[in-house]
Amino acid sequence: MKLLDYWRISRPDNIAKHIFIIPGIVLAIIYQPFQIDYLENIFLGVLSSILAASANYTINEFVDHKTDRFHPLKKNRALLKININKNKIITFYFSLVFFSILLAMNVNKYFTYTILAFLFSGIIYNIKPFEFKNKIYLDILNEALNNPIRLFLGWYMIFSDLSSIPPASFILFYFFVGAFLMTSKRLSEIIFFKKFGNIRSLIKYRSNYKYYDQTNLTIAAVFFLMLISFNSAIFLIKYRIELILVYPVITILFTLYFYMTIKSPEKGVFPEKVYLDKYIIILTLISFMLFFILYNFDMNFLNPLLK
């Protein structure tokens, strides 16, 4: 294995997923005024999170290298083109884990606990006897759990104790966003295989596709979207009535994401590609800017909505 092979299996192109850490940082700063010392924690914390994610991707690439050959796109992954040295892969994995935890310990103990939870999530998703990635709906819920974990990673870059935690409605919102994104990915894979492959190859790639189809995944996606809508509305109204004006942008954002994963399944198979779509980026930036503006400016004409 060459150095470039290690770089590829750590999937640096997935770094876009760490955008889900940012709201945890922002929300924590709203609760606790920003201090210059936080910059070091944020730098170390983000680096630790990237290494932990790369460790999870490494074990995923190693475990999946035999089944990825049935996937029209994933068959081009690094481990399918080289002679695999199991010991080197395991050493690389534990090196990433070691340095991730080492950096985490320099942030604080609660951030370290969260990194350990992130790494454990990667283990139960990929490795037997758990191997949740091949179990219907458990694969979705396992991946959904990574979203609030990322939220807490951002949160504990600022907070170093249990004096405060993110609002329950925001944690649930984050969890159901993760569930929706994973469901959309599964739906995209079915649509993609119907267009460019066949379902039998899809089942060889992931055994849980014996039970998934477009109908039950679409229903699941709509179910999670409703829960996203419910919890986001609770959070926005409860903490500041002006924030409800962000709600239409959030609705459009998730509607567009769902449309894109169905219309362009080759992108939906790799969600990080959808995250980098210009319209998704624009709507995300608009929602962030609106949140900051509405959080700091009163709009008294909205007060009757609380009665």
Q: How far apart are CA 58 and CA 38, in angstroms?
A: 30
Q: What is the DSSP string of the chain?
A: --HHHHHHHT-GGGGGGGGGGHHHHHHHHHHS---TTHHHHHHHHHHHHHHHHHHHHHHHHHHHTTTGGGSTTGGGSGGGSS---HHHHHHHHHHHHHHHHHHHHTT-HHHHHHHHHHHHHHHHHHSTTT-GGGSTTHHHHHHHHHHHHHHHHHHTTT--SSS----HHHHHHHHHHHHHHHHHHHHHHHHHHHHHS-HHHHHHH-GGGGT--HHHHHHHHHHHHHHHHHHHHHHHHHH-GGGGGGHHHHHHHHHHHHHHHHH-HHHHTSHHHHHT-HHHHHHHHHHHHHHHHHHHS--GGGGGGG-
Q: Cα Rg for the chain, rounded, in angstroms?
A: 20
Q: How far apart are CA 266 and CA 281, in angstroms?
A: 19
- 49 and 122 housed in the same domain: yes
- 153 and 176 housed in the same domain: no
Domain end marker among 143, 165, 187: 165
Domain end marker among 165, 198, 214: 165
Print the domain residue range for 93.
1-165
For the question of whether the overall pTM of this predicted structure is more than 0.85, the answer is yes
- 140 and 188 housed in the same domain: no
Residues shown for the chain: 307
How many structural domains does the chain have?
2
Domain end marker among 165, 193, 222: 165
What the block records as the tokens of 197 is 């492959």
- 271 and 132 housed in the same domain: no
What the block records as the tokens of 214 is 């477009």
- 40 and 152 housed in the same domain: yes
- 158 and 63 housed in the same domain: yes
- 75 and 5 housed in the same domain: yes
Cβ pair 217, 193 in contact under 8 A: no
Going residue by residue through the chain, which has 307 residues, state the pLDDT in tens, using 9 for 90 and above: 677 777 778 888 788 888 899 999 999 988 888 888 889 999 999 999 999 999 999 998 888 877 777 777 777 666 666 667 788 889 999 999 999 999 999 999 999 999 999 999 999 999 989 999 999 999 999 999 999 999 999 999 999 988 889 999 999 999 999 999 999 999 998 998 888 777 788 888 888 889 999 999 999 999 999 999 999 999 988 888 888 889 999 999 999 999 988 988 887 777 777 888 889 889 999 998 988 888 888 777 666 665 5
